[in-house]
Structure 1
Amino acid sequence: MKIISANLHSLADSKGVSQIEISRATKISPTTLNGYFKGTSLPGMGNIQKLADYFEVLKSQIDPRLNIKPDNIIPVTKTVKIPMLGEIACGDPILAEENIEEYINEPADDLPSGQLFYLRAKGNSMKPTIPDNSKVLIRLQEDVEDSEIAAVLLTDTNEATLKRIKRVNDVMFLMPDNPEFTPIIVDKSNPARILGKAIRYTSDL
């Protein structure tokens, strides 16, 4: 309260105005305003805004508490544009412009290393792990460990799918997390290649 009082006195002196003039201009009652100037009462947000508008200053120049940032807010200093792939055209590279549907801005500090892109999950084969229509962040890499979820390109159809990888001998299985769906066998008759590892997903509410 003492700091607010000192700030108000300083602003009033610099503007050369009395409390009565401030009261008339801001519609704050003389008694209430006098409490702020004496440091015996705190102004609410509405009156702080009125005073800030009158003196043409920031609200924090009246009440410095308004300049304190909450501990749970992390400032975003830099963002990166991550491509969202749509239908995947034939040939390489996978991140060619014709494959990109849009770009999504992400905080740089929150991203893993490597080349990244997004795929949109379609269908329910990976429920409950990945809901339908989720945006899944993928790190570009040619292989993943068994049991990890990968973005896989089915080369005959140029369709990208998200599945959990399982290998038995020389055969690779694309495993759905939803037991209602059957695994896809990757072999010479159904070729596929891993595009990258699924890192995380986000869903719109």
Structure 2
Amino acid sequence: MSENDVKNIFAKNILKLRKNKNLTQKELGEALDLGKTTISQWESAQKLPNAGSIEKIAVFFNIPKSTLFEEGSGQFSTYGHLINLPIVGKISCGNGVIAYQDIEKYEPTPEAWISGGEHFYLIAQGDSMNGARIHSGDLLLIKQQEDIEDGEIAAVLVDDEVFFKRVYKQNDSLILQSENPAYPPIVTKPGNDCFIKVIGKLKKVIINF
């Protein structure tokens, strides 16, 4: 996703947030200790807020910072109740039990995003899923589950490494398909020397700006 894409997404979201509170650009600027011109520049996608302003916006509107850069974040009123979910750096599976390791931190997450089951975050790495608008550094909300439909995007544990790909089933093999033509498909087949397990399904991509 380009910087212009991010600007446009943020512009739409900050406009919705302001209108939901029936604030003028001047009133929002005063609440954030900023000028009306800055708010206008945000809403016209001319510029992005700095880290300090992002923090102020999130606190003022009581929303996770990440949702400011999520496409289609229109129902901000549903974000009142937040829960903390782990951002996992490493996953292991011993005796069929998924274990989270190297938890980097916990991310405040709207409860409305969680529809039963256990959820966690992974951080996207590399450019193999760019075609699905998933870029390195994005937060990936994963629902832990083993069963997925053919062609869904999922996290797959192969030995000690997690692959995040579009998954297709072929007999007893899994085909892990990237969304970048520079990367060939990975064909995995369970065997004595290879552990393979689908550990979760992608629920949401969050731009980690």
Task: Give the alignment's TM-score, normalised by structure 1.
Answer: 0.58
1:201 to 202, 205, 208: 205
Corresponding residue SS for 1:132:
coil
- Higher relative CO (CA 8 A, sep ≥ 6), structure 1 or 2? 2
The whole-number CA distance in structure 1 between the counterparts of 2:156 and 2:177 is 11
Deviation at 1:139, TM superposition (A): 0.3
The whole-number CA distance in structure 1 between the counterparts of 2:203 and 2:184 is 23
Q: Which amino acid aligns with 1:77?
A: G
- Contact map agreement 1:126 1:178 (CA 8 A) in 2: yes
Identity of aligned residues (%): 33
The aligned counterpart of 1:159 is 161
Change beyond 3 A, Cα 1:114–1:180 = same
The aligned counterpart of 1:178 is 180
The aligned counterpart of 2:106 is 103
Higher strand share: 2
2:130 to 127, 130, 134: 127
Structure 2: runs of 5 or more not aligned? 1-25, 28-73
The aligned counterpart of 1:26 is none
Change beyond 3 A, Cα 1:85–1:170 = same
Change beyond 3 A, Cα 1:182–1:106 = same
Measured against aligned partners, the alpha-carbon deviations of 1:104-145 in whole angstroms (never above 9, x if no partner) come to 011112333211000111111111211111110000001211
In our comparison, the structure showing a higher alpha carbon Rg is 1
The aligned counterpart of 1:114 is 117
**CA RMSD after TM alignment:** 2.4
The whole-number CA distance in structure 1 between the counterparts of 2:165 and 2:115 is 21
Change beyond 3 A, Cα 1:95–1:102 = farther
Structure 1: runs of 5 or more not aligned? 1-43, 46-70
Runs of 4+ residues over 4 Å off in structure 1: none
Aligned residues: 134
The whole-number CA distance in structure 2 between the counterparts of 1:72 and 1:87 is 32
